Amino acid sequence: MLDTRDRKILELLQRNASTPIADVAEQVSLSPSACSRRIQRLEEAGYIRARTALLDREKLGVPTTVFALVKTAHHSDDWIESFRKAISDIGEIVEAHRLTGSYDYILKVVLPRVEHYDVVYRRLVKRIELFDVSAFISMEVLKSGEALPVDYAE
């Protein structure tokens, strides 16, 4: 069961996982050692999956985002596994979600420029049969981030 301090610790760490324990402890009114134990408990309980660095897409040369909506005529477990393998080997595809509705999947693709989408598209369709792929270029990011709401955690 999470308490208010645990939730605050999770909020602080997901904003900046490299925040010194002493600073986190001060903000949640704990000693550094008690705060460290809580963080370790949160990690062991699976609330904290990993501590990672968020990289700057502009500096890495992939500022463009394209969302690809995918339709397929195949829905077998074997096909889905083949699809997972095909997209996992393409680094520019950074997210993939199975959907309800008219399309089966949505892919988030990061690129150096829009024209590079064709390179990714060709690599994908060489690996797996797709019925239809429609691409949409993101014009502006209105909200972005990995931070999750912590109020629902038990």
pLDDT 10s digits, 32-82: 999 999 999 999 999 999 998 889 999 999 999 999 999 999 999 999 999
Fold topology of 57-137: Alpha-Beta Plaits (3.30.70)
Q: What mean pLDDT, rounded, does the chain reach?
A: 96
Pick the CATH number of 4-44 from 1.10.3720.10, 1.10.10.10, 3.90.850.10, 3.30.420.40: 1.10.10.10
Residue appearing with tokens 């609330």: 47
How confident is the model at residue 146, as a pLDDT?
81
Q: Residue 84 pLDDT more than 90?
A: yes
| DSSP code of residue 29 | T
Q: Residue 145 pLDDT more than 90?
A: no
Rounded Cα distance between 74 and 76, Å, is: 6
How confident is the model at residue 147, as a pLDDT?
87
How confident is the model at residue 114, as a pLDDT?
97
Rounded Cα distance between 55 and 45, Å, is: 27
Rounded Cα distance between 104 and 70, Å, is: 6
The torsion angles phi and psi of 120, rounded to 5 degrees, stand at -65, -45
Q: Exposed, middle or buried, 128 (CB in 10 Å: 0-12/13-18/19+)?
A: middle
Taking the model in full, what pTM does it have? 0.88
Domain extent listing, the chain: 4-44, 57-137
| Strand, coil or helix: 52 | coil
Rounded Cα distance between 30 and 36, Å, is: 9
